[in-house]
Amino acid sequence: MSRLTWHGHSCFTLETGDGTRIMFDPWLDENPVADIRADAVGELDYILVSHGHFDHFADCVKLAKQTGATVVSTFELVAFCQKQGVEKGHGMNIGGAHKFPFGRVKLTPALHTGSIDGDEDGAFTTDCSGFLLTLNDGRRLYHAGDTALITDMQLLRGQVDVALLPIGDNYTMGPEDAARAVEFIEPKTVVPMHYNTFDLIRQDPEEFRRLVGGRATVEVLEPGGSLDI
């Protein structure tokens, strides 16, 4: 069994059954709702980053240097991290998959604008992605990243146990489109993310639960809250 912990916004830590620690979209130090700061993270083995916007990437380089974690993302974003002194990186691209010691990771499409926080020259502008993880115990986790509702999500039907979906609207899907994404994907469990960090993306997760209805179990976490998967 693995444990998933939400740190607010789109940042999660996944600790797999074999003890591997994976962080998604690290934004902690300037995150107004985060339960921890970067210095308190502890050990990490991997950092998976969906794209380079500050609210998903701001603490990536710091944490990679602090923990020695391997950064997994698009080729360009990993190259940027290595230019900043990160020693371990694994670059990929949309639609590609790779088998890591903890399981298989596939980069999935996400429809969103792309830039990398800190890239002053714009030399590493990159596409955005989500992640489909198939862990060694067979459990399947989908982190959608920042995305609009896209028909490609239908290709995930039957492949996802737990889906992490943005519901904040304005910058990503809102509750209605996220509920439609649940129809497309048919996960067993869905965890809303990327909402209530700022007033502009304030949403009621209970309304999202109502919209999903009986199509999936909606687990609403508070920052610092965990879910066994």
CB atoms within 10 A of CB 56: 25
Residue in this structure with the two tokens 């993880």, named with its chain if needed: 133
Whether the predicted model's global pTM rises above the 0.75 cut? yes
The ranges assigned to domains in the chain are: 3-220
Alpha carbon distance 1, 226 (integer Å): 13
Tens-place pLDDT, residues 4-57: 999 999 999 999 999 999 999 999 999 999 999 999 999 999 999 999 999 999
Please list the residues that pair with 31 across neighbouring strands: none
Architecture of domain 3-220: 4-Layer Sandwich (3.60)
pLDDT-based confidence at 122, cuts 50/70/90? Answer: low
Tens-place pLDDT, residues 150-190: 999 999 999 999 999 999 999 999 999 999 999 999 999 99
Angle subtended at Cα 99 by Cα 70 and Cα 18, rounded to the nearest 5 degrees: 70
Region at 115 (left for phi over 0; alpha for psi -120 to 50; beta for the rest)? beta
H-run or E-run covering 62 = helix 60-67
Q: If DSSP codes are grouped into helix, strand and coil, which group holds residue 77?
A: helix
Is the per-residue pLDDT at 101 higher than 80? yes
